[in-house]
Amino acid sequence: MILGLTGAIGGGKSTALSAFAAAGAEIHDADRLCHEFYRNPESELVRKLAARWGKRIFSATGEVDRRRIGAIVFTDQAELDFLTGLIYPELERQMTAAIAAARRRPEIVTVWEVPLLFELGWESVFDAVAVVWTEPALRRLRLQARGLTDEEILRREARQWPAERKLEQADYALINNGSAIYLQMQCTELLNNLNRKV
C-alpha cells in the first residue's frame, strides 16, 4: 500500500508525515529529496542554476540558499518553469524507483509526502491519497511564524490548487485544526485501516 500525502502550504503535511512514522509507516518526503539535489555544489543541477541566476542564489558559506531561489521563482513563472523542468524529472525518477522497491515489500504501508501531488498529475502513482486540511486563517498564522510575509504566502498559494479542491479529490481527509495529538490520532487510525487492507 502506497499512500500519497498532500495538502496546502502551511497545512501540516510534515507533522502528519511524522505522525505516520510514529505509528509505524515507512515515510518519504519529496520536498526533502528535492533539497538534497541542492547540497552538492558541484552537481549538474547547481551548475545550471548558477549559470542562470549567478552568485545571488548562494549563501555566505557557498551553499545554495533555497529562500533566495524562492524569491526568484515565485515572482516569475518562466523562472519557476525552468527550475521545475530541472528538478521534477529527477524527483519522479527517484520516487518511481523507491515505490517499485516498496511494492516488493507488500506488508509495509509507505507514505509519500508530495506537496504538488495533484498539480503534477501524480495521483495515479499511489494506491490512495490523503489530504491534510487546515482552515486558511490558521495556515496563514503558521506560515507567518515561519517568517513568510502575506505577499510571499499569496504568491506560493497561487502556484497550488486551492485546499478545498485537493480535499475533494482525496480518498482520505486529515483535519488539522486542533492539536498535534488529534492529528496523530487520525494518522494512526488511517494507518491501522490501511494495514488491514494490506
User: What is residue 198's predicted lDDT score, i.e. its pLDDT?
Assistant: 65
Average pLDDT, the chain: 92
Q: Give me the domains of the chain, ranges plus CATH numbers.
A: 2-197 (3.40.50.300)
Query: Of the given ranges (30-44, 78-92, 173-187), which has the lowest mean pLDDT?
Result: 30-44
Looking at residues 61-85, what average pLDDT do you find? Answer: 91
CA distance linking residue 184 with residue 19, whole number of Å:
5
Query: Do 98 and 141 meet the contact criterion of CB atoms below 8 Å apart?
Result: no
Q: How confident is the model at residue 46 (pLDDT cuts 50, 70, 90)?
A: very high
How many residues appear in the chain? 198
Q: Is the pLDDT of residue 172 over 90?
A: yes
CA distance linking residue 195 with residue 178, whole number of Å:
25
Q: Is the pLDDT of residue 67 over 80?
A: yes
Residue with cell 509507505: 110
User: What is residue 15's predicted lDDT score, i.e. its pLDDT?
Assistant: 95
Q: How confident is the model at residue 188 (pLDDT cuts 50, 70, 90)?
A: very high
Record the cell numbers describing residue 54, joined without a space.
Answer: 549567478
Contacts of 141 by beta carbon, 8 Å cutoff, 6+ apart: none
| Digit-coded pLDDT (tens) for 95-148 | 999 999 999 988 899 999 999 999 999 999 999 999 999 999 999 999 999 998
For 6, counting Cβ atoms within 10 Å of its Cβ (0-12 exposed, 13-18 middle, 19+ buried), the class is buried
User: What is residue 43's predicted lDDT score, i.e. its pLDDT?
Assistant: 87
Q: Where are the beta strands (DSSP E) in 41-190?
A: 110-113, 128-133, 172-175
pTM: 0.88
